């Protein structure tokens, strides 16, 4: 099938051609004709499948007739993170360059004044994160009564970040007669409930089974016996032996982003860092540096897991096993994009065994184990010990029971190599065990849905707080409270 078979206008086809796309991706092939027909769409699609163009291209055509009135956007796209929202706006700019659509991007961390000026002039497309949008609405700066097309992007991420009450409120402010396009990488029951509430007779499109990892990404697991210091050593070995020129390292916590960044810098890697504590302009600048190849490695938190679209990323390193197993899918989806191949390494300590089991059951396949020279893999005893320590909420500070000799310790960097080994020793029964973190997350989500709005500020992240901070805080298994022992100054090696 060609783009010209989808019913798009000549202007859009020119823009598509300028982008160098020759054939529509499966989600584009399936979604575009239905969006053009005015149907609601429920799209279950992984990142990297081309879903942004899947809704942007037909929307530009639909909106090309008609005019926006002051403060009354004609279409609204809600995205969970600033980066993702910014990326959607880049798509509108790229594909809409032959038309006259006006657009505003409402995200935290950038100037209100500029955004308000644009809204005052009237915009066809408004792209926003939920918090910033509600802020503006409640200050009377925006009216949502003229929204004819609503896009909810990355709905499962909104759920994880506690934004569903805000999204529900936004939807309640929109006209009942509208076209709604709802996208999610996974279709958990809660997401399905929302889709049922927001959509009317939608065309359901699924381009990949929920939560399946990208086929183009080669996954590998390194079981690291010891502590974070050993993980940093393993990470350096991998980056060096793989000669990584464009790689992303994901950490669960902002604090670890800083530590890993400093460590890599000290070891003279070309590295930059990205997390939610940084000012928005710095975040954008860092991303640009990485995209433009000024830094080979970007260390980041999950803030970047969804929004990043950097086609050339060859490697993803999970410095930590993600606490929310679905994040694993999104993290590794940063590589192997648009048909390219990529590699995703996950470094796991024994105490992460349970989170790892959860990831394995989410992606429904074992992650092949690899050995890194100089790094001992953990034993079943260490795993059992790690699991029980994790249950007690403890965190290991020093390497325990490390069997590595000082000579192998020295073989830290360039002279290391990888060896694929069988993962047959994994006890399959362990993979079946429920994940402690998921158990604690679910009640929080339910609480979020039920907590009255006034008291919700403390219970779940709302627009009063940085959305990305919220995501990162929720990555801490201790919720909003960080025990003192986790705050001790870290030794960076």
Residue ranges binding ligand AMP (CB under 6 A)? 21, 24-25, 28, 47-53, 309, 311, 337-338
Q: How many residues does the chain have?
A: 493
Q: Which is nearer to ligand AMP, 49 or 81 (CB)?
A: 49
Closest CB 129 distance from ligand AMP, rounded Å:
17
Q: Which is nearer to ligand AMP, 48 or 130 (CB)?
A: 48
Closest CB 367 distance from ligand AMP, rounded Å:
23
Q: Quick check: 40 and 180 in contact, CB under 8 A? A: yes
Q: Which is nearer to ligand AMP, 54 or 247 (CB)?
A: 54
For the chain, counts of helices (H) and of strands (E)? 21, 15
Closest CB 291 distance from ligand AMP, rounded Å:
11
Beta-strand relationship, 369-372 and 418-421: antiparallel
Closest CB 306 distance from ligand AMP, rounded Å:
9
**Distance from C-alpha of 397 to C-alpha of 486, rounded to nearest angstrom:** 10
User: Any idea what DSSP says for residue 146?
Assistant: T
Q: Which is nearer to ligand AMP, 2 or 440 (CB)?
A: 2
Closest CB 49 distance from ligand AMP, rounded Å:
5
Query: In degrees rounded to 5, what are phi and psi of residue 128?
Result: -150, 155
Closest CB 10 distance from ligand AMP, rounded Å:
17
Q: Which is nearer to ligand AMP, 230 or 313 (CB)?
A: 313
**Distance from C-alpha of 38 to C-alpha of 40, rounded to nearest angstrom:** 7
Closest CB 8 distance from ligand AMP, rounded Å:
12
Q: Which is nearer to ligand AMP, 50 or 73 (CB)?
A: 50
- Other Cβ atoms closer than 10 A to 391: 11
Name residue, tokens 């942004």. Answer: 52
Q: In what order do the strands lie in the sheet containing 217-223? A: 271-274, 297-300, 247-250, 315-318, 342-348, 217-223, 369-372, 418-421
Q: Which is nearer to ligand AMP, 16 or 363 (CB)?
A: 16
Contacts of 260 (CB under 8 A, 6+ apart): 232, 235, 249, 251, 299, 319
Beta-strand relationship, 203-206 and 179-184: unpaired
Closest CB 96 distance from ligand AMP, rounded Å:
14
Q: Kindly state the tokens that stand for 348.
A: 């796991």
Closest CB 340 distance from ligand AMP, rounded Å:
10
Closest CB 116 distance from ligand AMP, rounded Å:
29
DSSP secondary structure of 201-247: SPEEEESS-TTPPPTTEEEEEEE--S-HHHHHHHHHHHHHHTT-SSE
Residue 369 three-state SS: strand
Half-sphere exposure of 336 (CA within 13 A, CB side): 20
- The separation between the first and the last C-alpha atoms of the chain, rounded to the nearest angstrom, is 53
Closest CB 180 distance from ligand AMP, rounded Å:
19
Q: Kindly state the tokens that stand for 138.
A: 């409640």
Q: Which is nearer to ligand AMP, 25 or 358 (CB)?
A: 25
Q: Which is nearer to ligand AMP, 281 or 311 (CB)?
A: 311
Closest CB 154 distance from ligand AMP, rounded Å:
10
Q: Which is nearer to ligand AMP, 50 or 96 (CB)?
A: 50
Q: Quick check: 43 and 181 in contact, CB under 8 A? A: yes
Q: Kindly state the tokens that stand for 238.
A: 């991998």
Q: Quick check: 194 and 165 in contact, CB under 8 A? A: no
Q: Which is nearer to ligand AMP, 25 or 237 (CB)?
A: 25
Q: Which is nearer to ligand AMP, 70 or 338 (CB)?
A: 338
Residue 354 three-state SS: helix
Closest CB 311 distance from ligand AMP, rounded Å:
5
DSSP secondary structure of 75-136: EEEE-SSHHHHHHHHHHHHHHTTTS---EEEE-TTS-HHHHHHHHHH--SEEEE-HHHHHHH
Q: Which is nearer to ligand AMP, 79 or 377 (CB)?
A: 79
**Shortest CA distance to 460 belongs to which of 79, 162, 220?**
162
């Amino acid at each position: 099938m060609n783009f010209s078979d989808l019913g798009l206008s000549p202007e859009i086809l020119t823009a598509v051609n300028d982008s160098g796309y020759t054939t529509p991706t499966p989600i584009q092939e399936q979604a575009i004709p239905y969006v053009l027909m005015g149907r609601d769409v429920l799209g279950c699609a992984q990142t990297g499948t081309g879903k942004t163009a899947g809704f942007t291209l037909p929307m530009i055509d639909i909106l090309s007739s008609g005019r926006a009135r002051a403060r009354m956007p004609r279409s609204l796209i809600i995205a969970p993170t600033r980066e993702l929202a910014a990326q959607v706006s880049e798509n509108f700019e790229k594909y809409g360059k032959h038309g006259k659509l006006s657009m505003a991007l409402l995200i935290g961390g950038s100037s209100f004044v500029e955004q308000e000026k644009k809204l005052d002039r009237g915009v066809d497309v408004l792209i926003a994160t939920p918090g910033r949008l509600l802020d503006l609405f409640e200050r009377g700066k925006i009216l949502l009564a003229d929204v004819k097309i609503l896009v909810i992007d990355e709905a499962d991420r909104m759920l994880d970040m506690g934004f569903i009450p805000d999204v529900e409120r936004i939807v309640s402010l929109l006209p009942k007669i509208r076209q709604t396009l709802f996208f999610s990488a996974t279709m958990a029951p809660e997401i399905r409930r929302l889709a049922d509430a927001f959509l009317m007779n939608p065309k359901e499109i699924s381009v990949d089974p929920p939560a399946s990892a990208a086929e183009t990404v080669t996954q590998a697991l390194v079981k690291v016996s010891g502590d974070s210091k050993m993980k940093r050593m393993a990470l350096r070995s991998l980056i060096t032996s793989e000669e990584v020129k464009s790689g992303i390292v994901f950490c669960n916590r902002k604090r670890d982003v800083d530590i890993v960044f400093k460590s890599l810098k000290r070891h003279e890697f070309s590295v930059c860092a990205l997390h939610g504590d940084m000012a928005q302009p710095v975040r954008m600048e860092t991303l640009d540096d990485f995209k433009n190849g000024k830094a080979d490695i970007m260390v980041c938190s999950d803030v970047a897991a969804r929004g990043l679209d950097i086609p050339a990323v060859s490697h993803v390193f999970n410095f930590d096993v993600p606490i929310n197993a679905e994040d694993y899918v999104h993290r590794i989806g940063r590589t192997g994009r648009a048909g390219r191949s990529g590699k995703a390494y996950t470094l796991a300590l024994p105490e992460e065994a349970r989170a790892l089991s959860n990831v394995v059951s989410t992606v429904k396949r074992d992650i092949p184990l690899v050995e890194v020279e100089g790094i001992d893999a953990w034993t079943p005893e260490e795993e059992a010990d790690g699991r029980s320590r994790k249950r007690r909420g403890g965190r290991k500070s020093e390497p325990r029971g490390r069997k590595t000799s000082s000579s192998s310790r020295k073989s830290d960097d360039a002279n290391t190599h990888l060896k694929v080994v069988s993962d047959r020793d994994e006890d399959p029964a362990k993979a079946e065990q429920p994940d402690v973190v998921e158990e604690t997350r679910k009640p929080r989500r339910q609480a979020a849905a039920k907590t009255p709005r006034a008291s919700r500020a403390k219970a779940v992240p709302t627009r009063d707080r940085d959305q990305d901070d919220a995501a990162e805080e929720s990555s801490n298994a201790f919720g909003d409270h960080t025990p003192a022992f986790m705050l001790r100054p870290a030794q960076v090696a």
